[in-house]
Structure 1
Amino acid sequence: MTEQTERVALITGGSGGIGRSIALRLAEDGIAVAVHYSGSRERAHDVVDRIHGIGGRAITVSGDVADETAMAAAFAETTERFGGVDVVVHTAGVMPLAPIADMDLAVFDEVQRTNVRGTFVVDQLAARAVRSGGAIINFSTSVTRLQPPSYGAYAASKGAVEALTLILARELRGRDITVNAVAPGPTDTPLFREGKPQAAIDAIAGANPMQRLGTGADIAEVVSALAGRARWINGQVLYVNGGAA
């Protein structure tokens, strides 16, 4: 049975961190949300429960973002349940860190597979599915500007994401679909905190002109604008980092 709704968003990586904040924010905007997950089923269902709790509409979908068959099924399920797709927010990614000289090439390949191929797969499907008046929002990182040691593989993958974003914006000429990338700075999520001592986290927060880390809500506010009324922003990389770079 298809549920009728005004607008629909599919959010990859919507089960945790920044993706979770975005899912909740778009639900507050009255958008029906498909919360995508790969390995965090319980967290994805928790996000859906929270959206239902505020009177919103949401489902979970799953799949490896780099697997075109799995992601095609996620798009199809979203369309079947809600009638179409208007907004795709692609937050899913991985960030293993190591100096370039030391990184295992198998790890490097996995970063590129998830972050680059995953973006290509999701963007390809989004380009076919998103309705006129919609938005495709990819995720890059302010690391492409900050360029700290040990982030070589991750920064390389996100440089590719930015290139794909700008090219797709031009390829969708005439369809009234915006394509942008959001590039957060250090944001207080479990992924950011993983493996870092508190002293290092405090130092990173203190180095920001705003004297704090970003929050999921900070990032979600920008995504809300791009998904909604900010129609004159297209083919851009937005650095959302409190002035860190």
Structure 2
Amino acid sequence: MQKARFEGKAAVITGGSRGIGAAVARRLAGEGAAVAIGYRGNREAAHALVAELAGDGGRAVAVQADVADPEQTRVLIDRAVEEFGRLDVLASCAGIEHFGALEEITPADFDRLFAVNTRGQLFAVQHAAAHMKEGGRIVLTSSVSASRAVFGHTLYASSKAAVESMVLNLSAELGQRGITVNAIAPGGTATDMAAEHGTAYQHPGLVGKMSMDEWAGVQIALKRLAHPSEVAAGYAFLASDDAAYMTGRTLRIDGGMF
């Protein structure tokens, strides 16, 4: 029987309607947490997940919030506190992808990527930390791309590298209050995003010549993409008391990508 590490605790998951975010919501709820699922546009998926968790005996609520707008993030977090009476965990999973050569990048591309992937996470931390007491746990989302060169991925990778610097520096500040802040850097994961963009991670000379499964077989030590639930286990670890003495760090979950 799995230990209910989050019994009596409440969590906010941004980007929680699908992919890794939905897996995190299931994992935390499965271990006893009441969860607020933030979503931008996929209302049907978010509410279906709430119904699923409720059917399993959990407490959950779905709240529409585009993290590119800090005010919407504040409303999401305030709603969670109003609904559950507390906030113990923030799992910031919302993010968007981008591929484009240097000469194709526009200022609008930059603003859009950083508004969600970087600024969105910073202000989620700001709003969440305002409600947290000692023992609060914050887990942001980086990417293996932050430390791995990929053609046409400069903008996305930079937005994620900033997150790793963010958790390092915020750890000193939030540590004074007994709150930890870390990040997960997922590798290739079997999500809708991977299905849409996965082949772009290949060398341009290989695009169209290898399937994602074939690519994973030669680029990942474990020879496959991660299941979202496997990545969610890392978020649950960092959000739990098992990681009480870990802060300011980024944990790679990539199956041994090389």
Instruction: With the length of structure 1 as denominator, give the TM-score of the two structures.
Output: 0.94
Q: Which amino acid aligns with 1:7?
A: K
Counterparts of 2:113 and 2:211, CA distance in 1:
24
1:222 offset after TM fit, Å?
1.0
Structure 2 residue matching 1:55: 3-state secondary structure: coil
Counterparts of 2:240 and 2:25, CA distance in 1:
14
Counterparts of 1:71 and 1:242, CA distance in 2:
32
Counterparts of 1:127 and 1:198, CA distance in 2:
47
1:20-35 to structure 2, matched below 5 A, reads: 20-35=22-37
Structure 2 residue matching 1:203: 3-state secondary structure: helix
> Which of residues 4, 15, 19 is equivalent to 2:21?
19
Taking a change above 3 Å as real, the CA distance of residues 198 and 18 of structure 1, as seen in their structure-2 partners, is: farther
Alignment coverage as a number of residue pairs: 241
Residue equivalent to 1:86: 88
Q: Check the 8 A contact 1:24/1:51 in 2, yes or no.
A: yes
Counterparts of 2:141 and 2:93, CA distance in 1:
5
Q: Check the 8 A contact 1:67/1:121 in 2, yes or no.
A: no
Unaligned runs of at least 5 residues, structure 1 = none
> Which of residues 159, 169, 180 is equivalent to 1:178?
180
1:198 offset after TM fit, Å?
9.0
Counterparts of 1:35 and 1:25, CA distance in 2:
13
> Which of residues 209, 214, 217 is equivalent to 1:203?
214
Counterparts of 1:66 and 1:84, CA distance in 2:
24
Range that drifts further, 220-229 or 135-144? 220-229
> Which of residues 70, 77, 80 is equivalent to 2:79?
77
Residue equivalent to 1:130: 132
Unaligned runs of at least 5 residues, structure 2 = 1-6, 200-207
Counterparts of 2:184 and 2:156, CA distance in 1:
15
Structure 2 residue matching 1:20: 3-state secondary structure: helix
Counterparts of 2:68 and 2:56, CA distance in 1:
32
Give the % identical residues: 37
| Residue 227 in structure 1 maps to residue 239 in structure 2 | yes
Instruction: With the length of structure 2 as denominator, give the TM-score of the two structures.
Output: 0.89
Residue equivalent to 2:50: 48
